[in-house]
Structure 1
């Protein structure tokens, strides 16, 4: 109220406020007495400004209807206006027409049509957040961080993200040519992608020796059941020999908040998982873990990178803050906002950013991301022979190993092991860490 009063007194003569110059000595009292009137006047001015802006919109709408070179329906113009209004708020708020809304609901169920890429808009171009595993885009070689500059030869610059996404959709089996700008490449290049029905298997698993490996590629309605089944199968295969678990969230663009909470809860016994806060603190929400850990406290490493966003960051942040897992890899994407899908009866829906989310320690990772506990950049490992190519067996007169093999079998075993060795450097480091923690725990138990 003080700020409003000060601005009003500065902008208007005192007589306009019904005050006399003779009352200057009692200005404070007189000003307080007129505060309700000033507030009412301010509210009326605000309503008048809104009316004027709506009148401006009506005038523009009328002029387009009368003078635009082509006929445009009222429904199209209203949708364009809504799209513009929402898209200017932030990169994640948007209008979904009936078709897009239907596609979104199908996607959250784990099946949808398209190319199989998660995208955002940056500097006027479509930026690939991540290609989804086993989709046309992934098979065509589209990579996280790629910029799409043209669609079938038409420039993306000037399109909204929604427009670009709509153009990338199409008849199943049809091709689209994406012009790609990639860091490290001197020139753009074209990639042809065949549209298909995208069936997302959001959870995959395998064993890495005596360590379980689970990859979650997206958070949809099938994620938690898929995770529970994966861990059950891993434990059945490894039994008591299971030393730990690697949870791979790299290139996971996110998805449903409820699934992020559920996956975090699967490895936590208690405590807060995440909180969300919007403009009104009265609507803040906190989500807490329930008793039960799928792997009963075994060592755990979570892998993240720049393609890990939103729901992935909720899981990584919760497990990091509770010291339940070691976070390894590179800085995550940094999408710390929550979007609410609000259906519009007969007109699709709007996706509106309604709150920010916070990790259990109170961190907002919006535009910052999750910092790994151990930074491991992607790398290619090469074997270096430091022996100079000479071994004991190569020396003249060396004694034979009569109690073992002649060395050829050992060499072949080593060669086979090298051929089967994983080429994923970040995963290798995660496996090494779990092995080290497991050995340490055994030695401590022995003492």
Structure 2
């Protein structure tokens, strides 16, 4: 039995390596060592003992999935196994579009509370208001469900109906609504005018990010006209997302030939190198990028590219320090997948920010009241178990590359780990970013742009 299972285990291992480009010839050149067979026998023995003697019955599928996930999660904090459901959720997350009602929700004292309905969605058209509490879905109470479980029940096929019961403080009786699910796009970009400064907030990098940024910049130019003096690009608490979207956002502010990011795989092997296409959509206006300890991965790619090319002033606090790229590798005919760390990325100056993060040009701590609100969110990449080490610490970084002809390359959809999951918590799709009650860092960024604008004004002499 043990030997039979070992053969199956080896076949399973080979199946996992094939999508990574390992051919039969390569396997023949690197045959499995006898010690590897012994380890597989050990795995088979443990598997059989658990399935036959564990105090409660567990399925073979549960054990195999747990073993695969354990193998991947032991590598680093961002590699993992995605079963059928998690893989589907991940695709929704990166696509930024799903069938639902169009509300941003949270939990409060065990109840699901509406933060805001999204513009032009079934919830908004039905009159759902901020502060409403959702108590029942299709007459079934949802009190006590986790936020993820409640959101899963609200999502469903486009065109399907859902009965929603809400309680509102100003109305004595429960309000019954019949809503038809529609296609909801998660807009990861919000914007507004801060006097004569264009403020753009990017909360994550999904397939809707670049279209959202294009729309934001066009609207701000239309709204402010010649009064526009610069942009604040807010990447605080942005945990990352798609690599190609990070490249595209960087390209928006960089001109032709400027390197954006490069990747290197195992042993420092050169990977992809991404450069900007012609044109600076900001027309050369000054840019301030806001970052903090919650800015990770794709956010750090953007901040690092604009900082290295001196295209933007980076302000705030040290970023998270996630300098690795994860590749999603479909398995079992697209039913499941594994998220595998396949390379490190490097800023244009050749610097790896793994465990280190991006150091702002101007450090600005949040106001005390904001620090209290953010307490408990201080962990960074270097604090995570099994975090990849920075192999370049102490090595001299290469100088920033000179502009050279080139074109942006579109990589495969490669989400970075830690991407927010809109399948769990929908993000409001309002076009305008709501101003927080206190934002000391943003105020300093706006002041800096005003100072730069005054300094750059033509000097007149009599």
> Aligned to 1:170, what secondary structure does the other structure show?
helix
Give distance in 2, aligned partners of 1:107 and 1:320.
28
Instruction: Report the Cα offset of residue 313 of structure 1.
Output: 0.4
Match of 1:362 among 335, 350, 369: 350
Q: Is 1:426 paired with 2:441?
A: yes
Q: Is 1:279 paired with 2:261?
A: no
Aligned residue in 1 for 2:223: 237
> Aligned to 2:88, what secondary structure does the other structure show?
helix
Contact 2:236 2:294 survives alignment (8 Å)? yes
Q: Is 1:332 paired with 2:319?
A: yes
Q: Is 1:136 paired with 2:115?
A: no
Give distance in 1, aligned partners of 2:284 and 2:322.
29
Give distance in 1, aligned partners of 2:277 and 2:87.
33
List structure 1 segments (4+ residues) > 6 angstroms apart after TM superposition.
137-141
Structure 1 residues 233 and 198: CA distance shift in structure 2, 3 A: closer
Superposed CA offset, 1:338-360 (max 9, x none): 00000102541000011111000
Contact 1:380 1:425 survives alignment (8 Å)? no
Give distance in 2, aligned partners of 1:252 and 1:275.
21
Give distance in 1, aligned partners of 2:36 and 2:362.
52
Aligned residue in 2 for 1:299: 286
Instruction: Report the Cα offset of residue 423 of structure 1.
Output: 3.2
Instruction: Report the Cα offset of residue 70 of structure 1.
Output: 2.1
> Aligned to 1:266, what secondary structure does the other structure show?
helix
Q: Is 1:82 paired with 2:68?
A: yes
Structure 1 residues 312 and 443: CA distance shift in structure 2, 3 A: same
Contact 1:135 1:198 survives alignment (8 Å)? no
Structure 1 residues 422 and 208: CA distance shift in structure 2, 3 A: farther
Match of 2:80 among 94, 99, 108: 94
Aligned residue in 1 for 2:339: 351
Contact 1:256 1:311 survives alignment (8 Å)? yes
Instruction: Report the Cα offset of residue 262 of structure 1.
Output: 0.2
Structure 1 residues 297 and 170: CA distance shift in structure 2, 3 A: same
Give distance in 2, aligned partners of 1:140 and 1:259.
31
Contact 2:206 2:241 survives alignment (8 Å)? yes
Contact 1:342 1:351 survives alignment (8 Å)? yes
Superposed CA offset, 1:206-226 (max 9, x none): 101111110000100000000
Unmatched segments (≥5 aa) in structure 1: 1-42, 115-132, 142-165, 176-196, 382-419
Structure 1 residues 208 and 216: CA distance shift in structure 2, 3 A: same
Unmatched segments (≥5 aa) in structure 2: 1-29, 115-144, 155-182, 370-434
Structure 1 residues 365 and 82: CA distance shift in structure 2, 3 A: same
Give distance in 2, aligned partners of 1:276 and 1:349.
22
Q: Please list, as runs of the form range in 1=range in 2, the aligned pairs for 1:387-406 lying within 5 A after superposition.
A: none
Give distance in 1, aligned partners of 2:353 and 2:324.
9
Structure 1 residues 96 and 367: CA distance shift in structure 2, 3 A: same
> Aligned to 2:266, what secondary structure does the other structure show?
coil
Aligned residue in 2 for 1:267: 253
Aligned pairs, how many? 305
Contact 2:260 2:276 survives alignment (8 Å)? yes
Match of 2:148 among 169, 191, 194: 169
TM-score by length of structure 2 reads: 0.61
287-296 or 421-430, which deviates more? 421-430
Contact 1:212 1:244 survives alignment (8 Å)? yes
- Return the structure number with greater helix share: 1
Give distance in 1, aligned partners of 2:436 and 2:243.
36
Contact 1:103 1:113 survives alignment (8 Å)? no
Q: Please list, as runs of the form range in 1=range in 2, the aligned pairs for 1:101-116 lying within 5 A after superposition.
A: 101-111=87-97
> Aligned to 1:350, what secondary structure does the other structure show?
strand
Structure 1 residues 63 and 370: CA distance shift in structure 2, 3 A: same
Superposed CA offset, 1:234-272 (max 9, x none): 001111111011100011111000000000000000310
